[in-house]
Chain A
């Protein structure tokens, strides 16, 4: 039962907000925050209870057994993802309590926020393809609405682009699912995997690969499917940008890619090579694009394209070390990128602009923001002992030991570019000469607290690199991904024997 909470609690919160909190907007924030806190605690409980369940908890949602019913599956990878998503969601929601005062329709915001969270948790937990699609659409549609939340022309345009491109690729994904269903007559992921394993690889499956790479590639914002992101992420309110860049692209994108291609299709080499190529392109193009941006949040958006490339090449290496690097970078990036987006939100809140050319000298006036931004900058640029250093180190070592020396060099070089564009932010926003923008308003308490907690996490989360912790908590996750079809093997006992083999 523990699993359905992840979906029902935020869903319920969303409806409660719409039903009861339309007039009392503080009530809306309270409900949202309570729901987030609740599932954050539950996700930690689930994470620590998981080993005693043999590494997998499977819930059938009806009296039938899979594949005749839909199921929720919690394994090491999904419980880890739940922590990442709900942690960022909680802190973003906390930040939003006061940040959202600048907008009207607070209850709308929180309701959409909760729906988005429902979708993400659903994607992480679901055990079948069609629900993956459904939950993905739930979170995407709330994301489209949230991007347009400011209802200025720029924001509406961004949301429109995002929605159009999202819809095209969702159709591709649905098409892919359709092909799979027509071949295997089942939608349960493990069952699909099982049948493909026993029935050999049909040629048609390559088309599915292509559709899924393009489809989930857009959600991941891999080049050349990235073009929506730099418009959408800056347009959304800051806590939503933090959610989009911090966890949405990872849940709908990276997690789905990894789950499907590693655990269901057994990590075909050609797919890994394509992902490697797309990841490298993203690293380079996203990195160099960031350096010429003057909009604080747009710069962060392009930076996400670049950083997600690191995550993807980590997984695409296919070696245990590479996957470890990918997982770590996914987690760490969620922390420092949400921190940076929240910082940008604080700057915008205080000065009413995000144009770096107009900002300047904020370090004396926005002390917490500039200090936390410093921590975020150092983390994302991989300066030790902040968390980004360790994931970058592992990804680079993994590249070299897998013989991908050129990609290792590119990853290393772009990390210099990363440092360069974040120092640009530091110089122009915080330490350079005073700009034309004035500090109009102080950054309120809740926003500061959320930023400070994330900044502390940038340092504290490095501790999972301590060998004993890594062995106990990270290695099982790596094994889940690495074990490829072990996912199928684990789900197989739950399958109804009458299923078509």
Chain B
């Protein structure tokens, strides 16, 4: 037992947590760090081993295959980097609890990745969801409402998963996820499929189960947002989604098409919402939803290139989205706000954070040669390939999905220009003139994530595709799968050339005039400062978007809101029936007796 890597991966962080309960804060950090690094080393060992398994109570509960090894490795890599960020500057009020929960997060996420037994999978899935709530309420009372919302939706995901797996177990009489494959035929199998699908959507934050994410991102501790919804929940949610689509079910094409449509809708709805946000956390939160659409689209295509693209996008998104949240976290720690209107011009004050944020923003917008470009590109190819294999109606539908995805990418760029501009480039508010760069560990971790974005983009074929992605689908070479031609080197040359050109122009025409600003004849004051958000307000007043935004603000698209309205309505109906009058209750009782007796007599 104690020499089994899979067992250790789950147990070591838990042991660290138990020790952490009794030690002072500084040792807590060290123990957490040690356990997470240990877990990272183990995950690398597991990754390089063939397949491992672990049994308990006579049944195999942990097992690995190429997909789970890949997820496991990046759970640990990302957690380690994010933990480095957390070593300093976590809010003192909850720092102690934060480190307790952090080690648990790693343990439980590892548990989800390596579980092959249904019950083990359910348990770890539930636990990893619970952490979202526990992290969330650290920031109580501010985050009480959004944590509750997040946990209700994530709890729904637990219940859906439980129900789906229960149906699968009843249908197959087999509790091993690695040995189960069901062809969608009866109603029961469809129920199981959609339950699991929605469970993965809720975790990953895809339409229609996404609404917890932006709210949670706004209120919870930002390190926790970077770790859970931005990184781990994406890895785990899409891991389950990939397993459903690749291993657990055999499904007709119509299902695939529906899933792809959901993916496209997720992209476009969420990015439209992101575009008009005034709060940087919410903006990133909506992007955390929007990007899931690409993963779903990619894996939903069902062909190798699309699946690779989708999984790669999941990885990339986990990297750059946590990086973006962390850089926003650094800004927030220094300025105390995440409202875009109040920020500006921080690039000079916090250059390293700026670089990290810029890399993240370019990556998420899909600018070559960064990683985000490449994964989106593969997803697009996957869609086109699938479209070309089906009848003309499907072709039209899938091409619409394709267009939405591309358009979504353009809007992503637009909203990140807003993000970068409003925080780092526009005019610096006076009160932030004394702001300094964030501590070493913070920018170091942040730049480390940025470096991963660059490396996975520039060396895309040599590292991520070859090492991590091709083994999952069992293909030997990417070249045979790809359409067209892509070389990151050439893109790099273009980039170098354009930067060079820019420099030349700058040096040749080096005539810049600095002037004071005036409004009327007076120098501008703080209230005239141009922030980075006004321009985007135009969109929300444009027809027909103004109506849609109005509805969105009234939460018409929020499944949680509808659930609440319905439950409260039904609850009140029942509540009003309970008048508190004894004779009413006595009548119910007698009526109950009469009805029961009638049923009984009719059975004679």
By a beta-carbon cutoff of 8 Å, the part of chain A in contact with chain B is 160-161, 164-165, 168-169, 172, 203, 206-207, 209-211, 213-214, 217-218, 224-225, 227-228, 230-231, 269-271, 273-274, 285, 288-293, 360-361, 363, 378, 381-385, 389, 392-393, 396-397, 400-401, 405, 408-409, 412-413, 415-417, 419-420, 423-424, 426-427, 431-434, 466-468
Complex contacts, B145 vs chain A, CB 8 Å: 427, 432
Which residues from chain B sit less than 8 Å from chain A, CB to CB?
57-58, 119, 122-127, 129-130, 137, 140-141, 144-145, 147-148, 151-152, 155-156, 158-160, 162-163, 166-167, 169-170, 188, 191, 563-564, 567-568, 570-572, 574-575, 578, 580, 582, 584-586, 588-589, 591-593, 596-597, 599-601, 603-604
In the complex formed, the residue of A with least CB distance to B152 is A420
Q: Is the CB of B591 within 8 A of A224?
A: yes
Closest chain A CB from B217 CB (angstroms): 18
Docked pose: A360 CA to B140 CA in angstroms? 11
- Given A168-B589, A432-B140, verify A288-B571 contact (CB < 8 Å): yes
Give the distance in Å from the alpha carbon of A396 to the alpha carbon of B170 in the complex: 11
Shortest beta-carbon distance from A412 to chain B in Å: 5
Contact A431 B137 (CB under 8 A): yes
User: By the criterion CB–CB under 8 Å, are A415 and B159 in contact?
Assistant: yes
B148 touches A423 (CB 8 A): yes
| Chain A residues whose C-beta falls within 8 Å of the C-beta of B574 in the assembled complex | 285, 288-289, 292
How far does the Cβ of A111 sit from chain B's closest Cβ, in whole Å?
A: 28
Instruction: Find the A residue at minimum CB distance from B156.
Output: A416
Contact check, B159 vs A420: say whether CB atoms are below 8 A apart: no
User: B152 contacts A291, CB within 8 Å?
Assistant: no
Complex CA–CA separation, A416 to B591 (angstroms): 31
Distance, CA A392 to CA B165, complexed state (A): 13
Q: Is the CB of B604 within 8 A of A432?
A: no
Q: Are A169 and B589 in contact (CB under 8 A)?
A: yes
Q: How far is the CA of A288 from the CA of B145 in the complex (A)?
A: 20
**7 sample A-B contacts, Cβ–Cβ < 8 Å, listed by A number:** A214-B589, A224-B591, A227-B588, A292-B572, A363-B137, A432-B140, A467-B57
Measured CA separation A164–B584 after assembly (Å): 13
A384 to B154, CA, bound (A): 13
**A-chain residues with CB within 8 Å of residue B169 when the two chains form the complex:** 397
Given A288-B570, A419-B151: A225 and B582 interface contact (C-beta under 8 Å): no
Known: A225-B589, A401-B170, A408-B166. 5 other contacts (CB 8 A): A207-B597, A396-B166, A412-B160, A432-B141, A433-B141
Interface of A is mostly: helix
Residues of B within 8 A of A290 (CB): 571
Residue pair B571, A427 in contact (C-beta under 8 Å): no
Contact A274/B599 with A218-B589, A401-B170 known, Cβ cut-off 8 Å: yes
Which residue of chain A is the closest to B584 with respect to CB atoms? A227
A158 to B144, CA, bound (A): 34
Q: Are B122 and A393 in contact (CB under 8 A)?
A: yes
CA distance A254 to B422 in the complex (A): 64
B152, A419: Cβ atoms closer than 8 Å:
yes
Distance (whole angstroms) from the CB of B583 to the closest CB of chain A? 10
In the complex the two chains form, is A378's CB within 8 Å of B130's CB?
A: yes
Q: Which of A160, A225, A409, A432 interacts with B163 by CB under 8 Å?
A: A409
- B126 near A383 with CB under 8 A, answer yes
* In-complex Cβ contact of B596 among A214, A427, A431, A432 (8 A): A214
Residues of chain A contacted by B580 (CB below 8 angstroms): 231
Task: Determine whether the beta carbon of B586 is less than 8 Å from that of A420.
Answer: no
**A361–B141 CB distance below 8 A:** yes
Enumerate chain B residues within 8 angstroms of A468, measured Cβ to Cβ.
57
Contact indicator A165/B570 (Cβ below 8 Å): no
A417 touching B567, Cβ below 8 Å: yes
Instruction: Collect the chain A residues with CB atoms within 8 Å of residue B188's CB.
Output: 400, 405
Q: How far is the CA of A81 from the CA of B155 in the complex (A)?
A: 31
Q: Are B600 and A412 in contact (CB under 8 A)?
A: no
The closest CB in chain B to the CB of A413 belongs to: B159
CA distance A467 to B119 in the complex (A): 13
- State whether A289 touches B596 (Cβ < 8 A): no
Contacts of B163 in A (CB 8 A): 396, 408-409, 412
CB-CB under 8 A for A393 and B152, given A165-B585, A225-B589, A285-B574 = no
**Contact A432 B126, beta carbon cutoff 8 Å:** no
B127–A384 contact, CB under 8 A?
Answer: yes
Name the B residues within 8 Å of A361 (CB-CB).
140-141
B568 touches A396 (CB 8 A): no
Residues of chain B contacted by A168 (CB below 8 angstroms): 586, 589
CB-based nearest A residue for B578: A227
Residues of B contacting A209 in the complex (Cβ-Cβ under 8 angstroms): 600
Query: Smallest CB–CB gap between B54 and chain A, Å?
Result: 16
Q: Which residue of A lies closest to B572 (CB)?
A: A292
Distance between B592 CB and nearest chain A CB, rounded to angstroms: 4
Cβ of B460 to closest chain A Cβ, rounded Å: 39
Shortest Cβ distance from residue A391 to the other chain B in the assembled complex, whole angstroms: 12
Which of B156, B191, B563 contacts A405 (CB under 8 A)?
B191
Residues of B within 8 A of A417 (CB): 567
**With A224-B588, A288-B567, A400-B167 in contact, is A384–B123 under 8 Å at CB?**
yes
CA of A432 to CA of B142 in the docked complex: distance in angstroms?
7
Q: Please state if B585 and A161 are interface contacts (CB–CB under 8 Å).
A: yes
Q: How far is the CB of A352 from chain B (nearest CB, A)?
A: 21
A178–B533 Cα distance when bound, in Å, is: 81
The answer on a CB contact under 8 Å between A203 and B137 is: no
B571 contacts across to A, CB distance below 8 A: 288-292
- Report the separation of the CA atoms of residues A172 and B169 in the bound assembly, to the nearest whole angstrom: 43
In angstroms, Cα B151 to Cα A441, docked, is: 31
Are B155 and A381 touching (Cβ within 8 A)?
Answer: yes
Contact B170 A412 (CB under 8 A): no
Minimum distance in angstroms from B21 CB to a CB of chain A: 12
- Cα–Cα, bound, A412→B162 (Å): 9
Residues of chain B contacted by A218 (CB below 8 angstroms): 589
Residues of B contacting A169 with CB < 8 Å? Answer: 589
User: What separation, in Å, do the CA atoms of A217 and B596 have in the docked complex?
Assistant: 11
- Complex CA distance for A431 and B145, rounded to whole angstroms: 9
B residues near A423, Cβ cutoff 8 Å: 148, 151-152
Within the complex, the shortest CB–CB distance from A196 to chain B, in Å, comes to 15
A485 to B57, CA, bound (A): 33
CA distance A268 to B232 in the complex (A): 51
Query: For residue B166, which residues in chain A have a CB less than 8 angstroms away from its CB?
Result: 393, 396-397, 400, 408
Which chain A residue shows the least CB distance to B143? A431
Choice from A231, A274, A378 contacting B600 with Cβ under 8 Å: A274
- CB A398 to nearest CB in B, in angstroms, measures 9
Complex Cα spacing A70 to B540, Å: 81
CB contacts (< 8 Å) of A285 on chain B: these are 574
By the criterion CB–CB under 8 Å, are A228 and B585 in contact? yes
Contacts of A214 in B (CB 8 A): 589, 592-593, 596
A-side contacts of B570, CB under 8 Å: 288
Contact between chains at A224 and B589 (CB < 8 Å): yes
> Closest chain A residue to B140 by CB distance?
A431
Pair A426/B126 contact, Cβ less than 8 Å: no
CB of B389 to closest CB in A, whole Å = 35
Most chain B CB inside 10 Å of its own CB: which residue of A274, A293, A360:
A274
Closest to A201 in B: B604
Tell me if B151 and A431 are in contact (CB < 8 A). no
Residue of A with least CB distance to B601? A206
Across the interface, B141 reaches (CB within 8 A) one of A161, A211, A383, A431, namely A431
Contacts A419-B155, A420-B152, A431-B137: A385 and B127 contacting too (C-beta < 8 A)? yes
Check A434–B572 contact: CB distance below 8 A.
no
Tell me which residues across on chain B come within 8 A of A165, comparing CB atoms. Answer: 582, 585-586, 589
Interface contact A431-B567, CB-CB below 8 Å = no
Residues A466 and B599 in contact, CB atoms below 8 Å apart? no
Q: Does B159 contact A416, Cβ atoms closer than 8 Å? A: yes
Q: How far is the CB of A158 from chain B (nearest CB, A)?
A: 10
Is the pair B567, A291 in contact by a Cβ cutoff of 8 Å? Answer: yes
B162 and A206 contact, CB distance less than 8 A: no
> How far, in Å, is A236 (CB) from chain B's closest CB?
17
Q: Are A467 and B58 in contact (CB under 8 A)?
A: yes
Residues of B contacting A389 in the complex (Cβ-Cβ under 8 angstroms): 122-123, 126
Among B582, B591, B603, point to the contact of A206 (Cβ < 8 A): B603
> Which residues from A are CB-within-8-Å of B589?
165, 168-169, 214, 218, 224-225, 227
